[in-house]
Amino acid sequence: MTILKIELEWCRDSKGYDLVDIPKRGKWIIGKGGPPERYNPFEMSDVPLLAFANAHSEEKLRNFALRYGYLTTRGYSAQGEVQPPVTSVRRFHWDSEGAITGIDQNASVQHLEGESVDEFVAVAKLFKRVLALTSGRLSRSLSGEVENLLLNYGSPNDVSFNFNIDPMRRLHPVILPGSLISGLLVQLAQLAGGSSFKTCQLARCGTLFAAGGRSGLRADAKFCSPAHRVEHNSRTRSKTARKPSA
Protein backbone atom coordinates (compact mmCIF):
# COMPACT_ATOMS: atom_id res chain seq x y z
CA MET A 1 0.00 0.00 0.00
CA THR A 2 1.24 3.49 -0.86
CA ILE A 3 1.69 5.52 2.32
CA LEU A 4 0.16 8.94 1.79
CA LYS A 5 1.59 12.02 3.48
CA ILE A 6 -0.45 13.44 6.35
CA GLU A 7 -0.52 17.21 6.91
CA LEU A 8 -1.94 18.63 10.12
CA GLU A 9 -1.36 21.99 11.76
CA TRP A 10 -1.69 21.12 15.44
CA CYS A 11 -0.60 22.74 18.66
CA ARG A 12 0.46 21.81 22.17
CA ASP A 13 0.44 23.77 25.40
CA SER A 14 3.90 25.30 25.84
CA LYS A 15 3.57 25.08 29.64
CA GLY A 16 2.69 21.38 29.57
CA TYR A 17 -0.17 19.33 30.96
CA ASP A 18 -1.34 18.13 34.36
CA LEU A 19 -3.13 15.00 35.49
CA VAL A 20 -6.19 16.26 37.38
CA ASP A 21 -8.51 14.04 39.42
CA ILE A 22 -12.12 15.10 38.75
CA PRO A 23 -14.79 13.69 41.13
CA LYS A 24 -16.87 10.97 39.46
CA ARG A 25 -15.01 11.56 36.17
CA GLY A 26 -11.63 10.10 37.00
CA LYS A 27 -8.29 11.50 35.85
CA TRP A 28 -8.19 14.13 33.12
CA ILE A 29 -5.28 15.60 31.17
CA ILE A 30 -5.57 19.37 31.27
CA GLY A 31 -3.29 21.97 29.71
CA LYS A 32 -1.64 24.59 31.89
CA GLY A 33 -2.69 27.46 29.62
CA GLY A 34 0.60 28.36 28.00
CA PRO A 35 0.92 29.91 24.52
CA PRO A 36 0.30 27.29 21.82
CA GLU A 37 3.27 25.75 20.02
CA ARG A 38 2.17 25.05 16.45
CA TYR A 39 3.64 22.13 14.49
CA ASN A 40 2.85 19.11 12.30
CA PRO A 41 3.04 15.96 14.46
CA PHE A 42 3.40 13.79 11.35
CA GLU A 43 6.64 15.49 10.34
CA MET A 44 8.46 14.73 13.59
CA SER A 45 11.40 12.34 13.63
CA ASP A 46 9.54 9.78 15.72
CA VAL A 47 6.25 8.02 14.92
CA PRO A 48 3.23 9.47 16.79
CA LEU A 49 1.23 6.31 16.01
CA LEU A 50 3.68 4.13 17.96
CA ALA A 51 3.93 6.67 20.77
CA PHE A 52 0.14 6.64 21.17
CA ALA A 53 -0.16 2.85 20.93
CA ASN A 54 2.30 2.61 23.82
CA ALA A 55 0.45 5.21 25.96
CA HIS A 56 -1.30 2.50 27.99
CA SER A 57 -1.09 4.17 31.42
CA GLU A 58 -2.04 7.59 32.76
CA GLU A 59 1.59 8.72 33.04
CA LYS A 60 2.45 7.53 29.54
CA LEU A 61 -0.62 9.28 28.15
CA ARG A 62 0.44 12.48 29.89
CA ASN A 63 3.93 12.10 28.37
CA PHE A 64 2.27 11.68 24.98
CA ALA A 65 0.30 14.90 25.56
CA LEU A 66 3.47 16.75 26.57
CA ARG A 67 5.00 15.88 23.20
CA TYR A 68 1.97 15.99 20.91
CA GLY A 69 -0.83 17.89 22.66
CA TYR A 70 -4.46 16.86 22.92
CA LEU A 71 -5.82 14.13 20.65
CA THR A 72 -9.08 15.88 19.79
CA THR A 73 -10.27 19.44 19.32
CA ARG A 74 -12.34 19.28 22.49
CA GLY A 75 -9.54 20.84 24.50
CA TYR A 76 -9.14 23.69 22.03
CA SER A 77 -11.19 26.66 20.92
CA ALA A 78 -12.61 26.94 17.40
CA GLN A 79 -9.44 28.84 16.42
CA GLY A 80 -7.27 25.92 17.44
CA GLU A 81 -5.70 27.81 20.33
CA VAL A 82 -5.09 26.26 23.71
CA GLN A 83 -7.87 27.50 25.97
CA PRO A 84 -7.11 28.64 29.51
CA PRO A 85 -7.63 25.37 31.37
CA VAL A 86 -9.25 24.65 34.69
CA THR A 87 -5.78 25.45 35.94
CA SER A 88 -6.51 25.18 39.49
CA VAL A 89 -9.42 22.96 40.29
CA ARG A 90 -9.39 24.91 43.59
CA ARG A 91 -11.08 27.82 41.79
CA PHE A 92 -13.99 25.54 40.94
CA HIS A 93 -16.57 24.03 43.24
CA TRP A 94 -17.54 20.43 42.54
CA ASP A 95 -20.41 18.36 43.81
CA SER A 96 -20.10 14.64 44.60
CA GLU A 97 -21.17 13.79 41.04
CA GLY A 98 -18.37 15.80 39.47
CA ALA A 99 -20.59 18.66 38.24
CA ILE A 100 -19.33 22.23 38.54
CA THR A 101 -21.61 23.96 41.02
CA GLY A 102 -19.79 27.24 41.35
CA ILE A 103 -16.76 29.17 40.21
CA ASP A 104 -14.66 31.91 41.77
CA GLN A 105 -15.15 35.36 40.25
CA ASN A 106 -11.59 35.66 38.97
CA ALA A 107 -11.69 32.38 37.03
CA SER A 108 -11.99 32.77 33.27
CA VAL A 109 -13.31 29.35 32.22
CA GLN A 110 -16.69 27.94 33.11
CA HIS A 111 -16.50 24.54 31.44
CA LEU A 112 -14.16 21.58 31.60
CA GLU A 113 -11.33 21.59 29.06
CA GLY A 114 -9.06 18.63 28.48
CA GLU A 115 -9.41 14.92 27.83
CA SER A 116 -10.33 11.85 29.86
CA VAL A 117 -7.40 9.60 30.74
CA ASP A 118 -9.52 6.44 31.01
CA GLU A 119 -11.10 7.09 27.62
CA PHE A 120 -7.87 7.48 25.70
CA VAL A 121 -5.84 4.86 27.55
CA ALA A 122 -8.51 2.39 26.37
CA VAL A 123 -8.20 3.73 22.80
CA ALA A 124 -4.40 3.47 22.94
CA LYS A 125 -4.62 -0.17 24.04
CA LEU A 126 -6.92 -0.91 21.09
CA PHE A 127 -4.47 0.77 18.69
CA LYS A 128 -1.71 -1.45 20.07
CA ARG A 129 -3.74 -4.63 19.57
CA VAL A 130 -4.46 -3.69 15.95
CA LEU A 131 -0.83 -2.81 15.18
CA ALA A 132 0.40 -6.05 16.76
CA LEU A 133 -1.51 -8.11 14.17
CA THR A 134 0.68 -10.02 11.74
CA SER A 135 -1.93 -9.70 8.98
CA GLY A 136 -4.37 -6.96 8.02
CA ARG A 137 -7.37 -9.13 8.87
CA LEU A 138 -9.17 -8.32 12.13
CA SER A 139 -10.78 -10.97 14.31
CA ARG A 140 -14.56 -10.72 14.71
CA SER A 141 -14.33 -9.29 18.22
CA LEU A 142 -11.56 -6.86 17.32
CA SER A 143 -13.48 -5.81 14.21
CA GLY A 144 -16.45 -4.81 16.38
CA GLU A 145 -14.22 -2.76 18.69
CA VAL A 146 -12.59 -0.99 15.74
CA GLU A 147 -16.02 -0.21 14.26
CA ASN A 148 -16.97 1.46 17.54
CA LEU A 149 -13.68 3.34 17.48
CA LEU A 150 -14.43 4.67 14.00
CA LEU A 151 -17.95 5.67 15.02
CA ASN A 152 -16.55 7.72 17.90
CA TYR A 153 -13.47 9.28 16.27
CA GLY A 154 -13.45 8.48 12.55
CA SER A 155 -15.96 10.88 11.04
CA PRO A 156 -15.39 11.17 7.26
CA ASN A 157 -16.08 14.89 7.63
CA ASP A 158 -12.91 15.15 9.73
CA VAL A 159 -10.58 13.96 6.96
CA SER A 160 -10.07 15.55 3.54
CA PHE A 161 -7.82 14.91 0.55
CA ASN A 162 -5.67 17.32 -1.44
CA PHE A 163 -2.65 17.58 -3.74
CA ASN A 164 0.65 19.36 -3.16
CA ILE A 165 3.63 20.14 -5.39
CA ASP A 166 6.94 19.59 -3.57
CA PRO A 167 10.13 21.70 -4.04
CA MET A 168 11.21 19.28 -6.80
CA ARG A 169 7.95 20.13 -8.65
CA ARG A 170 6.49 16.66 -8.12
CA LEU A 171 2.78 16.22 -7.53
CA HIS A 172 1.82 14.40 -4.33
CA PRO A 173 -1.54 13.43 -2.80
CA VAL A 174 -1.90 14.41 0.87
CA ILE A 175 -4.40 13.61 3.60
CA LEU A 176 -5.67 16.48 5.77
CA PRO A 177 -7.15 15.29 9.09
CA GLY A 178 -9.02 17.70 11.32
CA SER A 179 -7.50 16.41 14.55
CA LEU A 180 -4.59 14.36 15.84
CA ILE A 181 -6.78 11.32 16.58
CA SER A 182 -8.11 11.41 12.99
CA GLY A 183 -4.56 11.51 11.65
CA LEU A 184 -3.59 8.59 13.88
CA LEU A 185 -6.56 6.60 12.54
CA VAL A 186 -5.32 7.27 9.00
CA GLN A 187 -1.86 5.99 9.98
CA LEU A 188 -3.44 2.98 11.69
CA ALA A 189 -5.34 2.08 8.51
CA GLN A 190 -2.20 2.50 6.38
CA LEU A 191 0.20 0.57 8.61
CA ALA A 192 -1.87 -2.06 10.45
CA GLY A 193 -1.20 -5.67 9.56
CA GLY A 194 2.39 -5.11 8.47
CA SER A 195 5.15 -7.32 9.82
CA SER A 196 7.23 -4.27 10.79
CA PHE A 197 5.64 -3.89 14.24
CA LYS A 198 6.80 -6.14 17.05
CA THR A 199 6.16 -6.42 20.78
CA CYS A 200 9.28 -6.35 22.98
CA GLN A 201 9.82 -9.79 24.48
CA LEU A 202 11.30 -8.47 27.72
CA ALA A 203 8.65 -9.40 30.29
CA ARG A 204 8.64 -6.04 32.10
CA CYS A 205 8.49 -4.02 28.87
CA GLY A 206 5.98 -5.12 26.21
CA THR A 207 6.55 -1.94 24.16
CA LEU A 208 5.37 -1.98 20.56
CA PHE A 209 8.21 -1.00 18.22
CA ALA A 210 9.07 -0.81 14.53
CA ALA A 211 11.61 -3.26 13.11
CA GLY A 212 13.38 -3.37 9.77
CA GLY A 213 13.45 -0.60 7.20
CA ARG A 214 14.83 2.65 8.62
CA SER A 215 14.08 1.74 12.23
CA GLY A 216 17.69 0.81 13.00
CA LEU A 217 16.59 -2.66 14.17
CA ARG A 218 16.65 -5.91 12.23
CA ALA A 219 13.37 -7.09 10.72
CA ASP A 220 13.44 -10.17 12.99
CA ALA A 221 14.24 -8.18 16.16
CA LYS A 222 12.52 -9.40 19.32
CA PHE A 223 13.43 -6.49 21.59
CA CYS A 224 12.81 -2.75 21.33
CA SER A 225 16.43 -1.93 22.19
CA PRO A 226 19.83 -3.65 22.56
CA ALA A 227 19.69 -2.92 26.30
CA HIS A 228 16.47 -4.91 26.66
CA ARG A 229 17.93 -7.79 24.65
CA VAL A 230 20.93 -7.89 27.00
CA GLU A 231 18.66 -7.72 30.07
CA HIS A 232 16.45 -10.56 28.77
CA ASN A 233 19.45 -12.79 28.01
CA SER A 234 20.96 -12.02 31.42
CA ARG A 235 17.71 -12.94 33.19
CA THR A 236 17.45 -16.16 31.17
CA ARG A 237 21.01 -17.16 32.10
CA SER A 238 20.33 -16.42 35.77
CA LYS A 239 17.23 -18.63 35.75
CA THR A 240 19.16 -21.44 34.06
CA ALA A 241 21.98 -21.17 36.60
CA ARG A 242 19.53 -21.43 39.53
CA LYS A 243 17.99 -24.67 38.27
CA PRO A 244 19.20 -27.70 40.28
CA SER A 245 21.26 -30.12 38.23
CA ALA A 246 19.76 -33.56 37.63
| pLDDT tens digits, 50-103 | 899 999 899 999 999 999 999 988 655 544 444 444 333 334 455 555 555 655
Query: What are the structural domain ranges in the chain?
Result: 5-193, 195-246
The pTM score is 0.72
- The runs of H, that is alpha helices, within 132-225 are 140-153, 180-191
Please state the rounded mean pLDDT for residues 197-224. 67
Q: Is the pLDDT of residue 111 over 50?
A: no
For residue range 28-53, list pLDDT tens digits in order. 888 887 788 889 999 887 689 989 99
The mean pLDDT of the chain is 76
- CA–chain centroid gap for 51, Å, is 6
Contacts of 147 (CB under 8 A, 6+ apart): none
What pLDDT shows up at residue 110? 38
CA distance 195 to 126: 18
